[in-house]
Amino acid sequence: MKIKIVTLFPDMFSGFLNDSIIARAIKENILSVELIDFRTYSKDKHHHVDDTPYGGGAGMVLRCDILGDAIKANSSSNTHKILMSPQGHTYKQADANRLKDMEEIMIICGHYEGFDERVRNLVDEEISIGDFVLTGGEIPAMTLVDSITRLLKGAITEESYEDDSFYSGLLEYPQYTRPLEYNGESVPFVLTNGDHEKIRVWRKKESLRRTYLRRPDLLEQKELNKEEKKLLNEVIDEESVK
């Protein structure tokens, strides 16, 4: 997969792209990431990319001609163009699953007060990572790259992400490691007795319990199988008497 990131601050991505899973995926040619500094498409000697908004108001607005030139010069008919925007649809795991199968993605990072409205006509979709304010689109872009890369074949083992929160539509079950006891709290016995079927059922049930208690809205969106329905009913009964 190839990902292109259009940004004013390419240096922000140096550590992100040179460490951990992302760096390994790039090294093994599973992923290619190209940083495009759209300031280089400015046409004046001071390399301005923004201007004051028509109608007045605070801040500066990114120009559509400069950003548009950068987008057009670095994309083709196969490029899926994403604008990081607080007005976009909220990013979900399903989006990562969808985007991982695309040949080439371009992520456009806004900055300053925002961008000229006409930039929206140059992209295929707008994505937000949540209802909060950030300085620019660089950190949201990293979020997309990280979540997509984890799903690329060969980046990590499937077992490493299949039990992650949200991948299956549920929150992840509790995890434990050494020591066996800490501050008076012990690791659940079922995880130590070596019965893999009981461990599987316990993990599924605790995943359902955690989702029921913390994110019940996810259960409304998920179609449960027969076993999951049975386990969820057990959870509801157990929690009702606490």
**Catalytic sites, residue numbers:** 86, 113, 150, 164
Residue 94 phi/psi, 5° resolution? -60, -30
DSSP readout, 100-129?
TT-SEEEEEEP-TTEE-GGGGGG-SEEEES
Bridge partner list, 7: 37
Query: CA-to-CA distance for 230 and 137, rounded, in angstroms?
Result: 43
Query: CA-to-CA distance for 111 and 132, rounded, in angstroms?
Result: 15
The token duo for 147 is 């979540």
Q: Which amino acid is at 210?
A: R
Residue 32 phi/psi, 5° resolution? -125, 130
Give the neighbor-by-neighbor strand order of the sheet with 79-90.
32-37, 2-7, 104-109, 79-90, 125-128
Q: Which amino acid is at 191?
A: L
Radius of gyration of the chain, Cα coordinates, nearest whole angstrom: 23
Query: CA-to-CA distance for 47 and 147, rounded, in angstroms?
Result: 33
Q: Is the peptide bond before 10 cis (omega within 30 degrees of 0)?
A: no
Cα 217–chain centre separation? 19
